[in-house]
């Protein structure tokens, strides 16, 4: 059993790595969005030139950042918690509580979100749907944003599975469970 948990911990480290890389890309995407917003505002105010596509992309960038950063936020233990019991539970009790929350709430919710959003994403890709075919004049491909939804929930589910493995390894005495302040990734995107 311990060898299996060690292998699962290595897989969890791989999930951490992937979500760190995704967060790194999203960070640069946020910078690109800020430049896009500033450029669009300057273009409109100084030159009277506006682009519905550029205007349409701005909220998409932000929504994608929120969706794609959820897993990294969870990895760093900076997510919203409602720990009514945390004052009464020790580290083992918190590991059990986290494990139950992941298994009962997080994973089912993420998998349901992927299940519901995936068909719409595929349809959007196959049909070449753009935002112009919906509520905008923009020709921005709709599948890009529609793809961010299942991708964001898949990465969050994967991170949830990684954290569940860490809970199980801690409960089995195979590995220590890093506390939020001691988390090895606190240094940033390294």
Q: CA nearest 171: which of 107, 78, 108, 102?
A: 102
- What is the C-alpha separation between 160 and 166, in angstroms, rounded? 10
No. of helices (H) and no. of strands (E), the chain: 5, 0
Per-residue pLDDT tens for 63-106?
Answer: 888 888 999 988 888 777 666 766 777 888 888 988 999 999 99
Is 188 part of a structural domain of the chain? no
Is 190 part of a structural domain of the chain? no
Classify residue 178 as exposed, middle or buried by CB count within 10 Å of its CB (0-12, 13-18, 19+): middle
Domains contained in the chain, number: 1
Per-residue pLDDT tens for 24-48?
Answer: 998 888 888 888 888 888 888 888 8
Structure tokens at 47: 């030159």
Q: Residue 9 is part of which domain span?
A: 2-79+86-182
Is 189 part of a structural domain of the chain? no
Is 111 part of a structural domain of the chain? yes
Q: Kindly report the pTM of this predicted structure.
A: 0.81
Place of tokens 């994967």: 158
């Amino acid at each position: 059993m311990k060898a299996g948990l060690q292998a699962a911990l290595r897989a969890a480290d791989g999930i951490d790595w992937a979500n760190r890389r995704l967060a790194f890309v999203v960070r640069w995407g946020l910078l690109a969005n800020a430049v896009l917003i500033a450029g669009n505002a300057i273009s409109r105010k100084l030159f009277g030139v506006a682009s519905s596509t550029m205007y349409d992309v701005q909220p998409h960038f932000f929504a994608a950042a929120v969706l794609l950063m959820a897993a990294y936020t969870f990895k760093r233990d900076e997510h919203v918690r409602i720990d009514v019991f945390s004052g009464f539970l020790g580290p083992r009790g918190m590991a059990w509580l986290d494990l139950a929350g992941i298994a009962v709430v997080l994973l089912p919710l993420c998998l349901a979100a992927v299940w519901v959003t995936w068909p719409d994403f595929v349809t959007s890709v196959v049909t070449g749907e753009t935002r112009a075919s919906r509520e905008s004049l923009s020709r921005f491909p709709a599948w890009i944003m529609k793809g961010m939804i299942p991708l964001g929930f898949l990465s969050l589910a994967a991170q949830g599975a990684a954290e569940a493995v860490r809970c199980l390894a801690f409960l089995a005495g195979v590995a220590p469970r890093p506390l939020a302040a001691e988390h090895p990734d606190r240094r940033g995107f390294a």
